[in-house]
Amino acid sequence: SPFSGHVEKKVPGIDWGTGNLGQGLSAGVGYALACRARGSEGKVFVLMSDGEQVKGQIAEARRMAMKEKLDNLFVLVDYNHIQISGRIEEVMPANLKELWGADGWKVFECDGQDPSRLYEAMASAWKGGGPAVVFCRNKMGRGVSFMEDVPDYHGKAAAGKDYERAMEELGFSPRLAEEAGIRRKAAIPSILEIAESERISIETGEPVDYGAEVRTDNRSAFGKALEDVGRINYGQPGRTPLLVFDCDLAGSVKTEGFAKNCPEWFKEMGIQEHSTATVAGAASCGGIISLWADFGVFGLDEVYNQQRLNDINGTNLKLALTHVGLDVGEDGMTHQCIDYVGLLRNTFGWKLVVPADPNQTDRATRWAIKTKGNVCLAMGRSKLPVLTDENGKPIFGGSYAFSYGKADVIREGRDGTIISMGQMAHRTLAAWEKLVKMGFRPLLLHVSCPLETDEEKLSRALSTGAILTVEDHHWRTGLGNGIAMRLAEGGERVPFRAMGVHRYGDSGSSDDVVSRMGLSADDVAKAFISLIKG
């Protein structure tokens, strides 16, 4: 059946599949923000249970709605006091109505099983404007004597004689179950496609060229590109709104420029990452483009479930992660996002880009904003050199255009291959220069899209007789793992080694932390010589 046990977006009329409890209000906030950004007068209604009200993400969403003054958002709570494990007052006591009121919401209450009283409460909420919540007093199982207000029936249906008795009390024939059983034996209806969102119209401008003499961080290049795109589109008739979300890190993730120039498109959500992930995802299904910038451990590790559900819901979210890998400065191991490739590889729709330098970052940012679907842009913290060819010309400048899935040749060679990812590109280039002085000239590649395989470049790497991968990511789940799996699937036999993070990293400068992990240019050169000499 296309009608799953839980609500899913593939069914016509369903805008969002929330999955686990506690995420519906965040989705409602996202849709309400999108409506307002598009100038729509539509209203958003969220239906909720009472058992889920103690989840922290709901509190985050309540505060967001109040801060943004979402007068187009309304909530109805099924207030029957029952959840799977018993009565809500016994499972986890909470002053539910007071919690909503304390966050500034307008709170109403009514008999939820009296249509006239429900209408009156909703009309009052509508008239006063949101955000408003209506607690609908209900009795679960009403109309069936042995089921009414009994927690046991929260998660199970009546069966056998109990089913027949229940149907009789409700005035229906028990034969309805037999008829349903016959229908279930028929062909399964085809799975329906997720509804297409509105057409996107946005200009991404011209790329910025960073010269060979420039040394800057990728996150700053991202921020400047984002600011440029905002400047071009903000306030322009017919352009799709670009909402940028932040969680108290605008200065670090370089979205301050966008916030200054596009104030109505910038949404400061505070330190509330779980709700922000869902809000940003849902908003992108409401006819706008969403971009959320955060540290890697907050924007992906902490909210993996929310990003997985964004994938399932087919959102159009651009996730800009900074401080990934070992490049987080003195913040230390708790802030080192060393598993982002593996996490996104576990999904089926996310695209991932790990740019090598500021020029590639600028172009990848503009590409991501105009590309349909979920795209993650992963960057470190430190300033990097602009990568140049052997003539000193920027490799990713000028006429270079970012192409998803394509690996980049940094240096030509034949004595084996070194493949890097992201901010390790300049370190492997330094290792390459050391190797050339020792009489070796390996092919040097950079992979910015570790979830994809550039078959032509991989074939070239195989022809050199040995492959060494280098990344400041968990060595079991990153670039090296992906290439090794592809080689195994193709039945290829070649000397291979994956260099990466093999323990939690230290606190210190990027260079020091990388060196202590055994990933410095000297370490790469030594590992390469050891590999090709067997």
CA distances from 24 to 55, 235, 457 (A): 11, 30, 44
Count CB atoms within 10 A of the CB of residue 425: 28
User: Quick check: helix, strand or coil at residue 499?
Assistant: strand
> Which of 131-145, 149-163, 414-428 is the least confident region?
149-163
Q: Is the CB of residue 257 less than 8 Å from the CB of residue 297?
A: no
- What is the 8-class DSSP label of residue 25? H
How far apart, in Å, are the Cα atoms of 325 and each of 44, 255, 329, 505?
39, 21, 11, 9
The answer to whether domain 24-184 and domain 215-385 are alike in fold is: yes
Neighbours of 2 (CB within 10 A): 12
Nearest to 130 by CA among 199, 64, 205: 64
**CA–CA separation, 494 vs 501, rounded Å?**
22
pLDDT at 194 over 60: no
User: Which whole number is the average pLDDT over 122-147?
Assistant: 94
Instruction: Give φ, ψ of 458 to 5 degrees.
Output: -65, -40
Q: Match domain 215-385 to its CATH number in 3.40.50.410, 1.10.10.10, 3.40.50.970, 3.40.50.2020.
A: 3.40.50.970
Q: How many C-beta neighbours within 10 Å does residue 78 have?
A: 18
Segment 286-306 shows an average pLDDT of 98
> Which of 1-15, 250-264, 360-374 has the weakest average pLDDT?
1-15
Q: Where are the domains of the chain?
A: 24-184, 215-385, 408-533
- Residue 279 pLDDT > 80: yes
Which of the following CATH numbers is that of domain 24-184: 3.60.20.10, 3.30.1960.10, 3.40.50.970, 3.40.190.10?
Answer: 3.40.50.970
Residue 294 CA from chain centroid, whole number: 11
Residue 218 has phi, psi (to 5 degrees) of -60, -35
CA distances to 32, 106, 123, 125 from 128, rounded to whole Å, are 17, 9, 9, 5
3-state DSSP: the chain helix, strand, coil percent, rounded to 5?
A: 40, 15, 40
Q: Enumerate the H helices of 4-114 as residue ranges.
A: 24-38, 56-67, 88-91, 96-102
- With 0-12 / 13-18 / 19 or more C-beta atoms within 10 angstroms meaning exposed / middle / buried, residue 157 is exposed
Tokens 């000297």 sit on residue: 522
Picking from 129, 58, 48, the residue whose alpha carbon sits closest to that of residue 99 is 58
Give the pLDDT of residue 191: 63
Q: Higher confidence at residue 333 or residue 1?
A: 333
CB-CB neighbours of 388 under 10 Å: 18
Q: What is the mean pLDDT of residues 395-399?
A: 97
Q: What are phi and psi of 287, to 5 degrees?
A: 90, 20
Neighbours of 248 (CB within 10 A): 14
Give 19's pLDDT tier (boundaries 50, 70, 90). Answer: confident
The pLDDT of residue 275 is: 98
| Residues 482-494: tens digit of each pLDDT | 999 999 999 999 9
Under DSSP, is residue 458 helix (H, G, I), strand (E, B) or coil? helix
480 pLDDT band, cuts 50/70/90, is very high
Average pLDDT value for residue range 45-58: 97
186 exposure class (CB count in 10 Å sphere: 0-12, 13-18, 19+): exposed
Q: How far apart are CA 503 and CA 507, in angstroms?
A: 13
**pLDDT band, residue 322 (cuts 50/70/90):** very high
Q: Classify residue 504 as left (phi > 0), alpha (psi -120 to 50) or beta.
A: beta
Q: Is 70 exceeded by the pLDDT of residue 196?
A: no
* Residue 119 in tokens: 């209408």
Tell me: pLDDT of 384 over 80.
Answer: yes
**Which residues neighbour 440 within 8 Å (Cβ) at sequence distance 6 or greater?**
415, 416, 528, 529, 532
Query: For the chain, first and last CA: distance in Å?
Result: 56
Q: Is the pLDDT score of 1 beyond 70?
A: no
**124-128, 218-222, 444-448: which has the minimum mean pLDDT?**
124-128
For residue 379, give the amino acid letter: M
Distance CA 318, CA 307 (A): 11
Top-tier CATH class for 408-533: alpha beta
pLDDT of 348 higher than 70: yes
Rounded mean pLDDT, 168-189:
86
Interstrand relation of 408-411 and 417-420 (parallel, antiparallel or unpaired): unpaired
Q: What is residue 29's predicted lDDT score, i.e. its pLDDT?
A: 99
Confidence at residue 391, expressed as pLDDT on a 0 to 100 scale? 97
Sequence-distant (6+) residues with CB within 8 A of 506 are: 332, 333, 512, 513, 516, 517
**Does position 58 have pLDDT exceeding 70, yes or no?**
yes
Torsions phi, psi for 243 (to 5 deg): -90, 125
Q: Report the pLDDT value the prediction gives residue 223, as an integer from 0 to 100.
A: 99
User: For residue 123, what is the DSSP state?
Assistant: H
Report the predicted TM-score, pTM, of the whole model to 2 decimal places. 0.94
**Strand-pair category, 86-87 with 82-83:** antiparallel
Backbone angles phi, psi at 405, to 5 degrees: 95, -10
d(CA 152, CA 83): 9
Give the pair of three-digit tokens for residue 277.
């992930």
Q: What is the mean pLDDT of the chain?
A: 95
Percentage above 90 pLDDT, the chain: 89
Distance of CA 187 to the CA centre of its chain: 36
pLDDT digits (tens, 9 = 90+) for 433-469: 999 999 999 999 999 999 999 999 999 999 999 999 9
Any idea which of 49-58, 323-332, 381-390, 422-431 has the lowest mean pLDDT?
Answer: 323-332
- Per-residue confidence (pLDDT) for residue 18, from 0 to 100: 87
Reading the block at residue 349, the tokens are 């729709």
pLDDT band at residue 192 under the 50/70/90 scheme: low
pLDDT tens string 227-239: 999 999 999 999 9
Dist CA 106 CA 66 (whole Å): 10
Mean pLDDT of 164-181: 90
Tell me the CA distances in angstroms from 335 to 114, 292, 298, one per residue in order: 52, 18, 9
DSSP assignment string, 357-415: SHHHHHHHHHHHHHSSS-EEEE--SSEEEPPB-TTS-BTTSTT----TT--EEEE--SS
